[in-house]
Amino acid sequence: MKIAPHSKLVFIGDSITDCERARPVGEGLFGAVGKGYVSLVEGLLGAIHPAHAVRIVNMGSSGNTVLDLKNRWQTDVLDLKPDWLSIMIGVNDVWRQFDLPRQTEMHVQPNVYARTLDELVARTRPTVKGLVMMAPFYVEPNRADAMRARMDDYGGMVRDVAKKHDALFIDTQAAFDGVLRHMHANAIAWDRVHPNVVGHAIVARAFLNAVGVPM
């Protein structure tokens, strides 16, 4: 596994990461890491590599865009001093363009998204041993769908930033696409965005594969 024993692994993102994690820091007992993919990663790492004793912290926050991450980056990432950091952001950056089309002040346009993400990663990469960047996703098999197409564009920006800064890139959308060949989107995420347990397992599996835990 790429994550060394006794590493501290911090996850940051939006509601897909949050999943009712504890405040102010999502770490500890009684579901503190939330009910989503982060909890599955914690459980599987503990079961498969118990001797590694990887410390998992969930700093997801519902409704966040990349601009919200920027505002809390110091306290919720840098001050926690992670050995590894996982970032998944972008769903709300895209979604607000479609569900609130007239409230343009809530939209994060592609140039702002790419620039802000690059700034955060450039600031953080020298301080961590490993960085994982997961593409945002939309659980919709029709690639011509307007929101799916825009989400793919933002995922491409994540890929570019990851390549620039020597980070692991996870094509989360591709992971969902594989399952969507066999299951309807409604069986994975009722609103095409917030996954059920199957959807969270898809994300967790993609993450674990990327860090060298074959699933």
Dihedrals phi, psi of 13, to nearest 5 degrees: 175, -150
pLDDT, tens digit (0-9, with 9 covering 90-100), for 135-148 = 999 999 999 999 99
Give mean pLDDT, residues 83-90: 98
Q: Which of 1, 16, 62, 56 is nearest to 209 (CA)?
A: 1
Alpha-carbon gap, residue 58 to 38, rounded angstroms = 7
Which of 6, 99, 166, 191 is an active site residue?
191
First-to-last C-alpha distance (Å) of the chain: 12
Alpha-carbon 191 to chain mean position: 18
Share of the chain above pLDDT 90, in %: 99
pLDDT, tens digit (0-9, with 9 covering 90-100), for 150-183 = 999 999 999 999 999 999 999 999 999 999 999 9
pLDDT for 143: 96
Q: Which of 68, 75, 57, 74 is nearest to 18 (CA)?
A: 57
- Judge whether 15 counts as a catalytic residue: yes
Give mean pLDDT, residues 90-105: 96
SS3 string, 147-207, reads HHHHHHHHHHHHHHHHHHCCCEEECHHHHHHHHHCCCCHHHCCCCCCCCCHHHHHHHHHHH
The answer, yes or no, to whether residue 215 has pLDDT greater than 90, is no
- Judge whether 76 counts as a catalytic residue: no
- Domain coordinates in residue numbering, the chain: 8-210
Which of 7, 15, 39, 86 is an active site residue?
15
pLDDT, tens digit (0-9, with 9 covering 90-100), for 46-81 = 999 999 999 999 999 999 999 999 999 999 999 999
Please tell me whether the overall predicted TM-score, pTM, comes out greater than 0.85 for this model.
Answer: yes
Alpha-carbon gap, residue 92 to 63, rounded angstroms = 6
Which of 61, 93, 194, 200 is an active site residue?
194
What are 19-25's contacts with CB under 8 Å, separation 24+? Answer: 19/58, 19/60, 19/200, 21/58, 21/59, 21/60, 22/58, 25/57, 25/59, 25/80
Tell me which of 3.40.50.1110, 3.30.70.60, 3.40.50.300, 3.30.9.90 is the CATH number of domain 8-210.
3.40.50.1110
- Judge whether 61 counts as a catalytic residue: no
